[in-house]
Structure 1
Amino acid sequence: MQLSKEEVLAQANLVSKGTLMETLQIEIVDFGPDFLTARMPVNSRVYQPDGLLHGGATAALAESVGSFASHIFLDTKKFFIRGIEITANHLKGVKDGYVYAKATFLHKGRTTQLLDIKVTDDDGNLISVAKLSTISLPKTK
């Protein structure tokens, strides 16, 4: 029996319980054969002192969605997935609503992966652009 998209999303979000993703209220909201999208509410939990979305929270959203994408699209029965480098350029401030991070693969190798992550607001404005490198490490030697 194949799970519906809603059931897959529900199961994916259950994995986030007790993690930074839950703390920041990051939720996986969509996926396809070559992408994964998550969203995070912009509120006082993720503000910098002057009331705008904190770049660190944006980077945490980007790393979460990128690592999750690697986890889903690679064979995690045999491998651990770990983020090894992230870069983020923040282009626009956000005060409220949601930000959405969409991760797509630029490279999906056996050992290393490179993901492009675009963060947008509710109106589709580009907020940040991130690149995430992940590595697949064998679970047994």
Structure 2
Amino acid sequence: MSIWKKQPILESLARNAENTAVARLGIEYTEVGDDYLRARMPVDERTVQPFGILHGGASVLLAETLGSVAANHCLIRDNLMAVGLDINANHIRPVPAGQHVYGTATAVHIGATTQVWQINITNDKDKLVCASRITMAIVPRR
């Protein structure tokens, strides 16, 4: 059974990301399942730190992007929005430039006032790179 109240559509997600940090870092939404949202991000000059490996902040940006977009597609009313309240990330292994990382957001809790999402980021070999969790606050849309 699908968790989405508003079905995410890859083309619409890409259009909404134009002229944002998401587009500038090369993040592409790749898959929507009944209970997950997936995207990939290149590890290149936009996303590496000075040692030539994936910057932890880029991983967090990917995680927050996926958690936020997913959360907003699970809202029961159009006059609400989900905003980040807290995020954490455990960086497990480095990823050198020239690869991609893949983030998958899955819901831990979808409530009326908060949502919690787990975002696992893996490398080209499907090994865990970063485990992140975001808590979203559900607030009135302004």
Q: TM-score, normalised by structure 1?
A: 0.90
Matches within 5 A, 1:2-17: 8-17=9-18
Matches within 5 A, 1:1-141: 8-75=9-76, 77-95=78-96, 96-139=98-141
Q: C-alpha deviations, 1:33-61, integer Å up to 9, x for none?
A: 21111110111111100100000000100
Q: Distance in 2 between matches of 1:42 and 1:73?
A: 30
Percent identity between matched residues is: 37
Q: Residue 76 and residue 53 in structure 1: after superposition, are their counterparts in 2 closer, same or farther (change >3 A)?
A: farther
Q: TM-score, normalised by structure 2?
A: 0.90
Segments ≥4 residues shifted beyond 2 Å: none
Give the match's secondary structure for 2:126: coil
Greater fraction helix: 1
Shift of 1:10: 1.0
Letter in 1 for 2:10: L
Q: Residues 75 and 81 of structure 2 are in contact (CA less than 8 Å); yes or no, is this contact kept in structure 1? A: no
Q: Residues 85 and 137 of structure 2 are in contact (CA less than 8 Å); yes or no, is this contact kept in structure 1? A: yes
Aligned length: 134
Cα RMSD after superposing both structures: 1.4
Q: Give ranges in structure 1 of 5+ residues lacking alignment.
A: 1-6
Q: Distance in 2 between matches of 1:42 and 1:75?
A: 36
Q: Distance in 2 between matches of 1:89 and 1:123?
A: 19
